[in-house]
Amino acid sequence: MSFLGATFLLSEAKMEKEFLKIEKEALEAINLVADRASFNEVRNTYLSKKGVLSDLMSKMKTLSQEKRPLYGQLVNNLRSKINEALEVKNELLEAKELEEQLKKDKIDLTLPSMSKNSAGLNPFFVIKDEMEEIFISMGYEIADGPEIEEDHYNFELLNIPKDHPARDMQDSFYFSETMLLRTHTSPVQARVMQDKKGESIKIICPGKAYRRDNDDLTHSHQFAQVEGLVIDKNITLGNLKATLDLFVKKMFGEKRKTRFRASYFSFTEPSVEVDISCSECDGAGCLTCKGTGWIEILGAGMVNENVLRMNGYDPSIYQGFAFGIGIERVAMLRYGIDDIRRIYQNDIRFLEQFRAR
């Protein structure tokens, strides 16, 4: 360094000038720093034990007492200037280094995610669950009963006496003279009535049932129903109509209408067949509803007095309604499923289509 020769000879003014020169050189050097290595080099040059500032400090003792304070002040000023400049540079370098580090973390943002999707829903269960929810919201309990049933419950207690055509061996799966796979969920009616012993009843029972039908587009030897039963002192056919109308609107949409047609079931009297207005054509008539504007959806009626009596309810006090809705039938109608067998095939390509919407 050019000024190191005879500092002690310098005048004060000269001294200040020298320091300014050193400062300028240092700041220029810092300014030129572009990476961590040159940063360290510049810092060492000025601030290390053998650096410029140490060297300047060591010269102090050669000065006269009068000059020393000023000299000391000049050295300290210089040190803080350099430190400040280095600090600024350091921050710049750190920001640059972080950016480089982050760049290395760069990934393909379009690769598959770690999501774990839920499975497609089974339309059968969508309908079953939804029906349960609808009736639960109306205060219904969910009842159940055995699929392997005594003929007494499956028939007798439902006003289907021995020798009734509905009891032909060829229509049901029998295990013995008296045991069979239930042919409908209606035996649960009898079981619940006997259980509740004269209290009011408001239940549905979803469950499997079996009949000796050949499996085809619309028949299945195994199928499922939701049985409904309401018994109290003043239950009317009008209550049934309002209940089913509400159910249909929730299940098929607010615009659907229901209508009753006279029908016959052993365990209800009066009995009705319930139609809903066709959702495809809104009642105008189309292929889905065979031009009638209406689609048959379920059977229902007022609990037959014999059934009430046989199961411990006095028909002069109690009245009730009952209905049976086919789960597959509802699923097929709502989703346009053309073949009931699809529901029992468990084909993932089919199930995949039923997702939350």
Per CB under 8 A, contacts with another protein among 108-167 are 111-114, 116-122, 124-125, 129, 132, 135-136, 138-142, 144, 146-148, 162-165
Under the binding rule (CB under 8 A), the answer on residue 200 touching another protein is: yes
**Region near another protein per CB under 8 A, out of 31-39, 63-71, 81-89, 170-178:** 170-178
Minimum separation from the CB atom of position 37 to another protein (A): 40
Which residue number, 71 or 320, has a Cβ lying nearer to another protein? 320
Confirm or reject binding of residue 309 to another protein (CB under 8 A): no
Contact 298, 252 (CB under 8 A): no
Q: Does 344 bind another protein (CB under 8 A)?
A: yes
Structure-token match 């300047």, residue found: 56
Give the angle subtended at the CA of 285 by the CAs of 274 and 124, to the nearest 5°: 50
What are the residue ranges of helices labelled H in the chain?
A: 12-32, 36-47, 52-58, 67-104, 123-137, 151-154, 187-196, 237-252, 305-310, 327-335, 348-351
State in angstroms the smallest separation of the CB of 212 from another protein.
6
Q: Smallest distance from the beta carbon of 201 to another protein, in angstroms?
A: 9
Tell me the closest approach of the beta carbon of residue 62 to another protein, in angstroms: 59
Q: How far is the CB of 280 from another protein (least distance, A)?
A: 21
Q: Which positions from 21 to 60 touch another protein by CB under 8 A, shown as an x/- string?
A: ----------------------------------------
**Number of residues near another protein (by CB under 8 A):** 82
Stretch that binds another protein, among 1-9, 84-92, 106-114, 279-287 (CB under 8 A): 106-114
Q: Is 62 in the site for another protein (CB under 8 A)?
A: no
Tokens of 343: 């529901």
Nearest CB to another protein, comparing residues 97 and 133: 133
Q: Which is nearer to another protein, 16 or 147 (CB)?
A: 147
Residues 269, 285, 288, 310: which binds another protein (CB under 8 A)? 269
Locate 183 and state its tokens.
């042919």
CA distance 50 to 101: 33
Within residues 219-258, the interface with another protein by CB under 8 A covers 221-222, 230, 232, 234-239, 241-243, 245-246
Interatomic CA distance for residues 57 and 46, integer angstroms: 12
The per-residue DSSP string of 189-249 comes to HHHHHHHHTTS-EEEEEEEEEE-----SSS--SEEEEEEEEEEETT--HHHHHHHHHHHHH
Token reading at 1:
């360094």
Residue among 143 and 157 whose Cβ is closer to another protein: 143
β-pair type (141-142, 201-210): parallel
290 binds another protein (CB under 8 A): no
CB of 146 to another protein, least distance (A): 6
Nearest to 279 by CA among 228, 332, 323: 332
Q: Please, what is the minimum distance in Å from the beta carbon of residue 198 to another protein? A: 14
Beta strands 258-265 and 148-150 are: unpaired
Give the dihedral sign, CA 227/157/160/150.
Answer: positive
CB of 103 to another protein, least distance (A): 23
